[in-house]
Amino acid sequence: MKKCIVILFAVFFTSCLLAQNTAQLVVNGYNPQTTISRHIYGHFSEHLGRCIYDGFWVSDTLNVKKQGRIRLDVVDALKKIQVPNLRWPGGCFADEYHWRDGIGPRNQRPYMVNTNWGGVSEDNSFGTHEFLELCSLLNCEPYIAGNVGSGTVEEMAKWVEYLNSDAKSTMTDLRKQNGRNEPWRVKFWGVGNESWGCGGNMTADFYADQYKRYAVYCRNYNNAPLLKIASGANTADYNWTETLMKNVGAGRMWGLTLHYYTLPSGSWVTQGKGSATSFDEKEYFTTMKSCLYMEELVTRHSTIMDKYDPAKKCALVVDEWGVWTDVEPGTNPGFLFQQNSLRDALIAGTTLNIFNNHSDRVRMANLAQTVNVLQSIVLTQGTKMLLTPTYYVFDLYKVHQDAKLLPVNISSPDYVSGNAKIPAVNVSASQDSTGAVHISLVNIDAAKKINIKAALGGINFKNIKGQIITSGKFTDINTFDKPYNVIINAFNGAKKEGNDLLVELPPLSVVMLELK
Interatomic CA distance for residues 65 and 113, integer angstroms? 30
**106 CB contacts (<8 Å, ≥6 apart)?**
123, 124, 125
Type of residue at 161: E
Tell me how far CA of residue 516 lies from CA of 81, 268, 432, 464, in angstroms: 22, 46, 11, 7
Interatomic CA distance for residues 398 and 412, integer angstroms? 25
Dihedral, CA of residue 298, residue 302, residue 303 and residue 306, to nearest 10: -170
Candidates 132, 45, 143, 38; CA nearest to 370 is 45
Q: Which of 96, 141, 194, 283 is catalytic?
A: 194
Mapped onto helix, strand or coil, the DSSP state of residue 233 is strand
* Element at 490 (helix H, strand E): strand 488-491
Ranges assigned E (strand) in 199-337: 227-234, 255-262, 315-323
Dihedral, CA of residue 396, residue 276, residue 193 and residue 93, to nearest 10: -110
Phi, psi angles (nearest 5°) of residue 257: -85, 160
Other Cβ atoms closer than 10 A to 112: 17
Interatomic CA distance for residues 202 and 208, integer angstroms? 10
Interatomic CA distance for residues 174 and 180, integer angstroms? 9
Ranges assigned E (strand) in 227-346: 227-234, 255-262, 315-323
320 labelled catalytic: yes
46 labelled catalytic: no
Summary count for the chain: helices (H), strands (E): 10, 27
Q: Which of 295, 320, 328, 514 is catalytic?
A: 320
Interatomic CA distance for residues 256 and 213, integer angstroms? 16
Dihedral, CA of residue 427, residue 497, residue 514 and residue 319, to nearest 10: -10
Q: Which residues are the active-site residues?
A: 194, 320
